[in-house]
Structure 1
Amino acid sequence: MMKTGLLRLHDALGCSLVAMRRAARVSMTSALANGTFGALVVLATTPHVAQAKPSIAQYDQPKYPDNFTHFDYANPDAPTKGSLSFENYNELQSYDSLNPFLLRGAPAPDIQNLMFDTLMQRSWDELASEYPLIADNVDVAADLSSATFHINPAARFSNGDPITAADVKYSFDTLTSSHASPVFNAQFSVIKSATVIDKNTIRFDFKHAERDAPLIAGDLPIFSPKWGMQADGKRPPFDQIATQPPISSGPYLIEYRKNDKQISYRRNPDYWAANLPSRRGMFRFERITFKLYRDHYTQLEAFKAGDADAIVEYSATQWARKYVGKNFDNGLLKKGDFSDGPAQMQGMLMNLRKPMFKDPRVRQALTMALDYDWMNRMMFYGQYRRTNSYFEASPFGATGMPGPKELALLEPLKGEVPPEVFGPMLKQPDTIPPNSLRGNLRAARDLLGQAGWHYRDGALRDANGTPMVIEVMDDQPGMDRLILPYMQALSTLGIQAHMREIDSALYEKRLNNFEYDMTTFIYPPVTIPGAELTRRFGSAAASEIGSENYPGIRSKAVDSLIHAALSADNLDDLEAATKALDRVLIYSFYLVPEYYSPGARIGYKTTLGFPKTVPMSYQYEDWVINYWYVKAPTTQSASNTTAATAASAATAH
């Protein structure tokens, strides 16, 4: 499954974007068009199921035994006092909604993570496993057609009401209705229906027998039907519940809202799940406050002045040059580099719905115009690595020659896939001597010529004399320093390229309606590939307005390999399918691969502590928010901190 939370764009001088903002926007069902819900169907029998288990894994067995006490990357002895002051959680500069499940509006920072628990808890140091949270066990049908969850009788909403199977069904029906964002409809699209068995038991039936379907059901966030209910007992349509504080299932409550740029969450003292193994060592701050700044420069300066406790940095230049000053010198602030797992695929994708991108030789030529090595050397201080795979830094990415299992999947597709997929995996063009950008552009010119594009009358033109004109669309200030050198290389080929920077709202609209030539995009990393493959690369998604298939991929071969991945019975088969798919995607040149950061760059106050074990795969901001803590002060450290703070204040005045 995909990592939860947000992904940030490297490297727009620290400016960021949320990958989920650019995620699935698929057609909605009209199941709840009138804002009401039908009666719950309660059955007395269920299909044959395996023995109930407290934890499940997509493949093999869960890492942790049934009697585990805490995750390895959590510190169960961490102090539970102190506050965390955090700045912008994502690229949003303000918020206007307390409902993170709607399409419209900007939700409050990290509200879904802090206020809404899911049926089960994903482990951050396994490929795909879940452990008890709201549900204390799950039965998965032997034929994978359904999964039956038992709700922990102790589970409670923030208002003290018990969480029941009916509440779970309400949450599912709401999130898959036309009143919620299509992101959630897409996420839970494998679920056909939810059926209440008894007060604490609910069964999810699946449209297809997929190994990840039970885990997808376990990812369901739960909220109360009383949320937004009016004094007369009427419930407004869900998409009109935007400013009422949630009646939620998670560990935090909203303490106060100062304005649309600040919000503070307070840990619920009655949070029922605080001592569950899946929660032990988690959510240690008594209070978490977010302050939203208009730009990253102000945000960074505020952190350096001690206004925030931690900041995640996405600019290599900022990290190399700007994390200095008196509070770093006196020990109040520190820089930390932390390892990470699978990498995102970041690149400039091409919209194949535009005729000029139909020929793969044109697309390959455009990949050769990016001088990554110069960028990494001159702009990024050597902090990034080149992306060569859609599953970079993962066992699911292709390398070297295809193995026997990959060939068994690729051989029947001969004639439908690029012939190069049967050879070594493509290495992206470089400019390390003896190679050069000039040499790459000569090769690109030859490819364009083979595709029928030739330079004449001052421009690169097709057989009809139409010039190639490419608009590179973006909404992030600072990305111009990366895009402009690329456009200069394109102009050397005779391509008339220009950049259009637009505001986020218009960008979102144009992206959802596929109104662009090229744009920088992130495919969020996954620990284990699954249903997102269909949304990202499946032919059916290419014609759905707002889908994740932004390049417009329509390939029977790709569809076949996605099916092989989703129907894999073991990890070996899954790896073979994703590696074969990776080869086809890379050799089809749907985007210009860029680069990725091998880890997290986090600045923080030295009063904060964190577990010794770093998770295998995690969202950086939520790792800090969920698992860090305020260290218990010693006499000496308290004295040093006081002195440093006083010195900082004296200097400021």
Structure 2
Amino acid sequence: MSLSRRAALVYAGAAAAFGLFPGAARAQIEGVAAAPEAGADPKAFGPERHGLSAFGELKYAPDFKHFDYVNPDAPKAGSFSQVPPTTSLNQSLTTFNTLNAYILKGDGAQGMGLTFDTLMARASDEPDALYGLVAKSVAVSGDGLAFLFKLRPEARFHDGSPLTADDVKWSFETLKAKGHPLVAQTIRDLEAVDIEAPDSVVLRLSKHRTRDLPLTLAALPIFSKAYYAKKSFDEATMEAPLGSGPYKVGRLAQGRFIEFERVPDYWAKDLPVNIGQNNFERVRFEFYRDRDVAFEAFKGKGYLFREEFTSRVWATGYDFPGVREGKVRRETLPDLTPSGAQGWYFNMRRKKFQDIRVRKALNLAFDFEWMNKNLMFDAYKRTWSVFQGAPEMMASGKPEGAELALLEPFRGKVPDEVFGDPVVPPVTDGSGQDRKLLREAIALLKDAGYAVKDGRATNAEGEALTIEFLEFDPGLDPHVSKYISSLKVLGIQANIRLVDAAQYQQRTNTFDYDVISRRMSGSETPGESLRQIYSSESADRPGSQNASGIANPAVDALVEKIVAAASRDELETACRALDRVLRALWTWIPAWNKGSHTLAYWDAYGHPTEKPRFARGAPEIWWWDEEKAAKAGVKA
């Protein structure tokens, strides 16, 4: 199985704001770069442009009609239903108790982003490109610290009230002051939002701002200032907020399902960024606390679309009548996005995980080869890099040239392995308990001060080494249970603690755990996101994605090199150096990955022949096919 369905968290910053998508062929059409323009007047704005990207490269010309990957004639009909595939900010995979998905409190409902518009919208066939939505154009100052957005006068909220620069200003200032800590931290270098006119707003950034901050801001939701005049933004609530996007909240049952209804007179439905998209009359998310129950519901048409994350189910579970009768289709689509750092994270805020020898010993006891063969039908490959799936950013060989120059100041301050071939997880003999590796693990624990007494690894203070794996879903129990049996050989007492989604959210927000499983999915153009996951400043911030509590000066410095990179070559070099250091610190147990989407759905849908390079495409550009639906015996 994959960790994705269980505890997937996207990188913060631009990636979280507008999705995850790695590199494509470099663009042909000039856009506005998020970086300063050499030799330009620092305060003067350049020409107005229709798009924005990290390095100024855009695929689509100003007069483009629609994105290449959509069907511009897709019908507007039917419904799309699924269980939540990933989470972001305060969302849960198994429940929800608030429609405010942009604060720390509560479990946010999936899909709320469908109800809000943004200044610009992403293109899913480019690595980091945005095109005008609420904003018809953007211009950047010569120093790259001010961005002038001209708004479309026709932009409207669902109640018909105009969406103005005043709403943009209020939204960004409120998110910075009261939004989820991940959002607030990401946009902290937004110094001011100046209103030039009702349809013009200038975002002024700190000179320390990250390269991707302008893209992040352009992809943030815009709220109605008037709506919140008598309401508190930072409270959990089941009242649907006023939006301006292609959908609005429809029927729901707290913790069970939520529907979003297409807005027929949506003000932006004919803009190029929306043609061929948002094709369903209803988009619905179903919530189940048990994955087996969820699968049974799919068999019974309780929902119609499913991305399968459990290899056992994919290999053996799809032999039910709907499949045999040809009413359920299965497709495997390439997933070209970086799979990122997927695995189990040690909470190094706790003393027992602060010794690198202990963390390395725990890695030696993990038998991926046995698990892949016996539990996962050999469907996966081992993950070893924090940038897995983005080869240009993954360390390889010994560091040299510019990469070595970045690392030299830390020689003697980071593990010596940093200056050799990059660390990779051990390869076992596949027996389930590789004796050679377990002997090495015992030796490391002994060096760290742990001796096995009465079958328990105990230090000089008499403290036994114990581990609790915190989970909210039992899907990984077979894998963790097998791992626990190997830990027992080392004298380590371990157990799985299964809690409900709300308690899991609260405990992870406050770092009350030993080990958690998580997938940190990434983008091809990382920046501020890395501060959220690996920097010292995020280590103790409630709600932070820094699951391991990493607080390392070398990591901090390399993250800042990535953030400040002026070219893609500089970015990739600094990423390789960071990858090398993080792998040598052994702060996690890398899990596994696969480069595909395994999809199953009741055959009621149509979709373009090729999916966009950097997105799954469903439901955004799929559509309802009435003829197919009738044959499959399903209704919208």
Q: Normalising by structure 1, what TM-score?
A: 0.86
C-alpha distance in 2, partners of 1:552/1:259?
A: 33
Cα 1:368/1:239, change in 2 over 3 Å = same
Deviation at 1:279?
1.2
C-alpha distance in 2, partners of 1:130/1:541?
A: 28
Cα 1:606/1:385, change in 2 over 3 Å = same
Deviation at 1:198?
1.1
Q: 1:75 aligns with which of 68, 71, 76?
A: 71
Cα 1:259/1:214, change in 2 over 3 Å = closer
Question: Are positions 1:248 and 2:243 aligned together?
Answer: yes
CA displacement, residues 525-544 of structure 1 (integer Å, 9 cap, x when unaligned):
22321101112111122233
C-alpha distance in 2, partners of 1:183/1:423?
A: 34
C-alpha distance in 2, partners of 1:489/1:542?
A: 30
Please say which of residues 418-427 and 384-393 is displaced more in the overlay. 418-427
SS at match of 1:150: strand
**Hey, what does 2:402 align to over in structure 1?**
405
Matches within 5 A, 1:1-16: 10-11=1-2, 16=6
SS at match of 2:423: coil
C-alpha distance in 1, partners of 2:5/2:544?
A: 25
CA displacement, residues 417-456 of structure 1 (integer Å, 9 cap, x when unaligned):
2111111122211124799722211222222233333334
CA displacement, residues 9-61 of structure 1 (integer Å, 9 cap, x when unaligned):
x547x9623526x989xxxxxxxxxxxxxxxxxxxxx9322222111110251
**Hey, what does 2:9 align to over in structure 1?**
19
Q: 2:546 aligns with which of 520, 544, 549?
A: 549
Matches within 5 A, 1:267-346: 267-340=262-335, 341-346=337-342
Is the contact made by 2:472 and 2:498 (CA closer than 8 Å) also made in structure 1? Answer: yes
**Hey, what does 2:26 align to over in structure 1?**
none
In percent, how many aligned pairs have the same letter? 34
**Hey, what does 1:132 align to over in structure 2?**
132
**Hey, what does 1:4 align to over in structure 2?**
none
C-alpha distance in 1, partners of 2:6/2:237?
A: 25
Deviation at 1:500?
1.9
Aligned alpha-carbon RMSD (Å): 2.6
C-alpha distance in 1, partners of 2:473/2:464?
A: 28
Q: 1:450 aligns with which of 424, 447, 450?
A: 447
Is the contact made by 2:97 and 2:254 (CA closer than 8 Å) also made in structure 1? Answer: no
Cα 1:261/1:545, change in 2 over 3 Å = closer
Please say which of residues 291-300 and 308-317 is displaced more in the overlay. 291-300
Cα 1:60/1:534, change in 2 over 3 Å = same
Stretches of structure 2 that go unaligned for 5 or more consecutive residues are: 14-41, 87-91
SS at match of 2:234: helix
* Amino acid corresponding to residue 375 of structure 1 in structure 2: M
SS at match of 2:633: helix
**Hey, what does 1:155 align to over in structure 2?**
155
C-alpha distance in 2, partners of 1:396/1:125?
A: 20
**Hey, what does 2:25 align to over in structure 1?**
none
**Hey, what does 1:170 align to over in structure 2?**
170
Matches within 5 A, 1:456-475: 456-475=453-472
Matches within 5 A, 1:382-421: 382-394=378-390, 395-421=392-418
**Hey, what does 1:263 align to over in structure 2?**
258
Deviation at 1:457?
4.1
Is the contact made by 2:340 and 2:389 (CA closer than 8 Å) also made in structure 1? Answer: no
C-alpha distance in 2, partners of 1:514/1:245?
A: 30
* Amino acid corresponding to residue 256 of structure 2 in structure 1: K
Is the contact made by 2:269 and 2:275 (CA closer than 8 Å) also made in structure 1? Answer: yes
Deviation at 1:481?
1.1
**Hey, what does 1:479 align to over in structure 2?**
476
Deviation at 1:295?
2.6
SS at match of 1:16: helix
Is the contact made by 1:15 and 1:477 (CA closer than 8 Å) also made in structure 2? Answer: no
SS at match of 2:314: helix
Is the contact made by 1:227 and 1:244 (CA closer than 8 Å) also made in structure 2? Answer: no
C-alpha distance in 2, partners of 1:294/1:349?
A: 23
C-alpha distance in 2, partners of 1:108/1:516?
A: 24
C-alpha distance in 2, partners of 1:384/1:192?
A: 45
SS at match of 2:108: coil
C-alpha distance in 2, partners of 1:293/1:487?
A: 27
Cα 1:266/1:514, change in 2 over 3 Å = closer
CA displacement, residues 556-586 of structure 1 (integer Å, 9 cap, x when unaligned):
1111111111111100000010110000000
Is the contact made by 1:251 and 1:268 (CA closer than 8 Å) also made in structure 2? Answer: yes
Is the contact made by 2:424 and 2:583 (CA closer than 8 Å) also made in structure 1? Answer: no
Is the contact made by 2:116 and 2:221 (CA closer than 8 Å) also made in structure 1? Answer: yes
Please say which of residues 623-632 and 588-597 is displaced more in the overlay. 623-632
Please say which of residues 537-546 and 118-127 is displaced more in the overlay. 537-546
C-alpha distance in 1, partners of 2:497/2:282?
A: 41
**Hey, what does 2:33 align to over in structure 1?**
none
* Amino acid corresponding to residue 159 of structure 1 in structure 2: D
Question: Are positions 1:357 and 2:353 aligned together?
Answer: yes
SS at match of 1:587: helix
CA displacement, residues 392-441 of structure 1 (integer Å, 9 cap, x when unaligned):
01122222332411111011211112111111122211124799722211
SS at match of 1:176: helix
Count of residues paired in the alignment: 600
Matches within 5 A, 1:75-94: 75-88=71-84, 91-94=92-95
**Hey, what does 1:491 align to over in structure 2?**
488
Question: Are positions 1:213 and 2:226 aligned together?
Answer: no
Cα 1:540/1:93, change in 2 over 3 Å = closer
C-alpha distance in 2, partners of 1:271/1:210?
A: 33
CA displacement, residues 582-614 of structure 1 (integer Å, 9 cap, x when unaligned):
000001001111112322121112221112222
Cα 1:15/1:153, change in 2 over 3 Å = closer
**Hey, what does 1:371 align to over in structure 2?**
367
C-alpha distance in 1, partners of 2:381/2:156?
A: 46
Deviation at 1:632?
5.7
**Hey, what does 1:645 align to over in structure 2?**
633
* Amino acid corresponding to residue 502 of structure 2 in structure 1: A
Cα 1:432/1:73, change in 2 over 3 Å = farther
* Amino acid corresponding to residue 146 of structure 1 in structure 2: A
Q: Normalising by structure 2, what TM-score?
A: 0.89
C-alpha distance in 1, partners of 2:282/2:476?
A: 35
Q: 2:503 aligns with which of 494, 502, 506?
A: 506
Stretches of structure 1 that go unaligned for 5 or more consecutive residues are: 1-9, 25-45, 229-233, 649-653
SS at match of 2:618: helix
SS at match of 1:614: coil
SS at match of 2:6: coil
**Hey, what does 2:624 align to over in structure 1?**
630
SS at match of 1:624: coil
**Hey, what does 1:40 align to over in structure 2?**
none
Deviation at 1:240?
4.4
